[in-house]
Structure 1
Amino acid sequence: MHHFARRSAAMTMTLAAAGLLFTAACSSNDDNNSSATTSAAAAATNAANESGAKESGAKESAANETGANGAAAETKIQTPSGEITVAGHVLAKYNEMGGPAGTLGAPTGNSMNGPNGGSCQEFTGGAICWSEQTGPHAVWGDIRKAWDSNGGINGKLGYPTTDEKDIANGKQSDFTGGSITWVNNQTSVTMK
């Protein structure tokens, strides 16, 4: 009976969270980079995960390791291309952003090593990059396209130092070597 109650609560929370996600997505005037959608997706995933449910088409397997705070140090996510591991700082940021049901979606490949001991992992909706100096940050949308065309973490802009943030008429992400803004559907890169 306990399992039935827990599953019922999980389903109710998942449906409520999906309603919030739908409402936030429909009420947004921004493109798909909406922070309201990201927050709603994160809330939906957190509510479902806390109740033991999985709400995404991408299925996660049990964690192989446990971190110092008891959180999963890595997880494997089943994708159409096979099982892909998300781990460490990237996993923590990925979970914060809603995991497979969030803005970034499912991983498209394993984490790749970057300069200065950092790493980057690609997802269907963007990337999460981490270095000891910057911490983990996500890059997506038109800002990501501009960053990639400038060499990504191996270019002059380097690692992201902030997540995308709202500015007048658009968004901005900061990097170790400059910043990229998306204002009125126009992207501009400013080097330090």
Structure 2
Amino acid sequence: MGDADQTAITAHLKQLYAEYRHTAELETKARFFSPDCRQICRTNAGFAAKDRDTIMRYLRETSGKEVENIQQLAENPDMKSDVVGQATDTPAGVGVKKKSFYTIRPLRDDEVEFGSDEIVVPAGFNSAADTKLQADREEWLGMRVDLWDDEGTDDEGRSKGILVKVQYWWRKDADVWLQILHDIMYLGPRDGTEGSEGDTLE
């Protein structure tokens, strides 16, 4: 792939992500996912999804949730939600309620990996190595997205809010780029790194 082609595709994926992020109707978000879209989570392998339907269930169950409830869901993906509301942008199961921001950039060569077998098997992959082979064979393209919500500071001046670091992967299906994998690298409190991966966008 030439540099010009890569630049054009990167711009297109950024635009697709922005459209996904700003899609207000939760159910409409499904159109951005391949039916085969999966999710892995580096911090809790059980917070995985084997298909689009599971991803959509996570999104419904975290819609409008506060930070502590989102983290509880990450620890126990089988919990059910009695909270209703509207999600903003998220990887599956990570809704944010306050005003939120993000950065997005292409993955570096050293970031094109999928962790360990323990991380990918719950999402239905055979192994991390096989996942990498599949990504190469199907020509997946990845972007690093950091998302955070701004809830101000606490009494000690520490930033409040949730930070999520995700490697989103797209695959071209019938000439349409669709999300094929959400690789959650970090899910937790803001740690001071938010905004360090590129221009801050809303």
Common fold: TM-score over 0.5: no
TM-score (norm 2): 0.23
Larger Rg: 1
TM-score by length of 1: 0.24
